[in-house]
Structure 1
Amino acid sequence: MDSPSGPSSPPSRYLLMLESRAICELGAFYAAGPFLQFAPAGDGHPVLVLPGFGASDFSTRPLRMFLRNRGYRAHGWKLGSNLGPREGVEENMRERLEWIAGHYERKVSVIGWSLGGVFARELARHSPDLVRSVITLGSPFAGEPRANHGWRCYEQLSGRKADDWPERERMKQPPPVPSTAIFSRTDGVVAWQGCLEQLSATSENIEVESSHCGLGHHPAVLYAIADRLAQPEGQWRPFDRETGWRRFIYRDPTRAEGRRPAAA
């Protein structure tokens, strides 16, 4: 029998099996094209998108394509596959951020998927003068190092122990810029409890019904991203999930646990 999942353990095998939904969610992305045309348009500021562990810029192409359609200057990280904080990676990300900010002479919004979101938050912490906002997608910045199904692979590929992150407690604190954590309770790769942002005047959580591997192209995720990025600089407000159709798509992220996911 499958052991119960929780904030200190990886998601259940049932949820891991449901990660196959990501293929259907990619199809939903293309099918929802006409609907996504109604997503808020942007002001043209640059956006840096960081891929998840083991993935490259290829995985974020649908997201960047959507962002460009909404008027943003979307960029990949151009560092190949994300194999963790290996030598030179963090320095190269900072240089990439500095180049984009200097090229457009504007602050950069940073979106990170899974491990990419952990990097995004640290970029904002290191260079708050260059970062406009941070959005994370299923990023376990506040969770236990082994509360996911990828920690063994991470240790093999990165050459580091899963719990070998300096100042882990500091990582749980919101970065010094507006931040949004998008998560799914049906995430089959990382424990969703570790993907939650501490609430503050400039930080929030948005819940969606998605697989972990589909977060970067799920229509509900993309709409929420567009809504967050479209806010005027310096006028950040929490996501409004209560108005109109949104109440049926975006559930209350503070509700009690215990709901079993429906099969895709």
Structure 2
Amino acid sequence: MTPLLGLTGLRSRARTAADVDALSGPSGPPPTWATLGELTSPLAAARLVGAVPRLASARRGDGHLVIDIPGWRAPELSGAPLRAYLRRLGYDGRGWGFGTNTGDPRRDVERLSARVLDLVDAAGAPASLVGWSLGGVIAREVARRHPDAVRRVITYGTPVAGGAAHTSIARAYGRGAGVDADAAKVARRLDARSPISVPLTVMFSRRDGVVAWQACIDRATPGVEHVEVSSTHIGMGVDPDVWAVVAERLAASSS
């Protein structure tokens, strides 16, 4: 009965992953079966119907600013359903303000940092950042640079290190095409020199067919929380368990 309730959305399938050190590291792109499973992503939206009662019962927000950052090649509109839900809970949910994420994280960290600082200055309180896939990479780096302006970071389907080598892009175009070979080294150097100091929640899924789930595990940030969900990569944006975790962690940061 419990698996059926989870399948319909009536019950959450998310669970905290406590012992991530025992999990294996990434060895390449996600398996082919997971990539093909991305075709089932629309089913995540169907689970929203069954999840309405538990999503509606989430704790009300305190009105603080929450900025949503889309994944690679995803339009800003992709985060509109989650932002609408967060606004319904009482948060000031906003898009990142730059339209489609075209895949230039270095540039986007710079311009989102400037936007966050402006918005936080106007609001008089730090913001929370929610990032999907590459959007989470950007959120992490903004928080690393400006911890006083960011109260919490929540990511889902976000590769922590290794760049495109651990994504389905590597399988489609070859490991040498578009893969930053130094990405892992750069990430390790940043984590060692200036670790992320704000509360961080990382969501990953073993069904992720775009980013190898092992690449989402953060083994460097002190106090990082890992939550495992059961969703395809594309489906995470409308997965009710992802929404519930976001709402719960935002409420915790408001306490």
TM-score (norm. length: structure 2): 0.80
Distance change (3 Å), C-alpha of 1:152 and 1:80:
farther
For structure 1, the residue ranges without an aligned partner over 5 or more in a row are: 236-264
Q: How far is 1:222 from its partner?
A: 0.8
Match of 1:105 among 124, 134, 147: 124
The reply on whether 1:42 has 2:64 as its aligned counterpart is no
For residues 106 and 141 of structure 2, the distance between their equivalents in structure 1, rounded to whole angstroms, comes to 16
For residues 115 and 232 of structure 1, the distance between their equivalents in structure 2, rounded to whole angstroms, comes to 23
Contact 1:172–1:198 (Cα < 8 Å) also in 2: no
The reply on whether 1:185 has 2:206 as its aligned counterpart is yes
For residues 146 and 66 of structure 1, the distance between their equivalents in structure 2, rounded to whole angstroms, comes to 34
For residues 232 and 82 of structure 1, the distance between their equivalents in structure 2, rounded to whole angstroms, comes to 27
Contact 1:26–1:218 (Cα < 8 Å) also in 2: yes
Higher helix share: 2
Q: How far is 1:146 from its partner?
A: 0.6
Distance change (3 Å), C-alpha of 1:86 and 1:202:
closer
Q: How far is 1:6 from its partner?
A: 7.2
Match of 1:162 among 177, 180, 186: 180
Distance change (3 Å), C-alpha of 1:10 and 1:171:
farther
| CA distances 1:85-118 after superposition (whole Å, capped 9, x unpaired) | 2674322111221122122111000011000001
Distance change (3 Å), C-alpha of 1:147 and 1:99:
same
Q: How far is 1:69 from its partner?
A: 1.1
Contact 1:143–1:191 (Cα < 8 Å) also in 2: no
Equivalenced residue count is 227
| CA distances 1:169-203 after superposition (whole Å, capped 9, x unpaired) | 13556511110000101111111011012376631
For residues 187 and 58 of structure 1, the distance between their equivalents in structure 2, rounded to whole angstroms, comes to 21
Q: Give every structure 1 segment of 4 or more consecutive aligned residues whose post-TM-superposition deviation is greater than 4 Å.
A: 151-155, 171-174
Q: How far is 1:154 from its partner?
A: 9.6
For structure 2, the residue ranges without an aligned partner over 5 or more in a row are: 1-23
Q: Secondary structure at the match of 1:26?
A: helix
The reply on whether 1:79 has 2:98 as its aligned counterpart is yes
Contact 2:105–2:138 (Cα < 8 Å) also in 1: no
For residues 53 and 186 of structure 1, the distance between their equivalents in structure 2, rounded to whole angstroms, comes to 18
What's the Cα RMSD here?
Answer: 2.6
Contact 2:196–2:221 (Cα < 8 Å) also in 1: no
Pairs within 5 Å for 1:115-264: 115-143=134-162, 145-151=164-170, 161-163=179-181, 165=183, 167-170=186-189, 175-198=196-219, 202-233=223-254
Contact 1:134–1:179 (Cα < 8 Å) also in 2: yes
| CA distances 1:26-52 after superposition (whole Å, capped 9, x unpaired) | 222244223310122211111011000
The reply on whether 1:13 has 2:32 as its aligned counterpart is yes
Q: How far is 1:151 from its partner?
A: 4.6
Q: Which amino acid aligns with 1:190?
A: V
Q: How far is 1:205 from its partner?
A: 0.1
For residues 55 and 76 of structure 2, the distance between their equivalents in structure 1, rounded to whole angstroms, comes to 22
Contact 2:66–2:94 (Cα < 8 Å) also in 1: yes
Contact 1:112–1:137 (Cα < 8 Å) also in 2: yes
Distance change (3 Å), C-alpha of 1:135 and 1:195:
same
Q: Secondary structure at the match of 1:32?
A: helix
For residues 211 and 39 of structure 2, the distance between their equivalents in structure 1, rounded to whole angstroms, comes to 15
* Identical pairs, percent: 40
Contact 2:64–2:125 (Cα < 8 Å) also in 1: yes
Distance change (3 Å), C-alpha of 1:27 and 1:70:
same
Distance change (3 Å), C-alpha of 1:119 and 1:14:
same
For residues 108 and 153 of structure 1, the distance between their equivalents in structure 2, rounded to whole angstroms, comes to 37
Q: Which amino acid aligns with 1:163?
A: A
Distance change (3 Å), C-alpha of 1:204 and 1:126:
same
Contact 2:205–2:228 (Cα < 8 Å) also in 1: yes
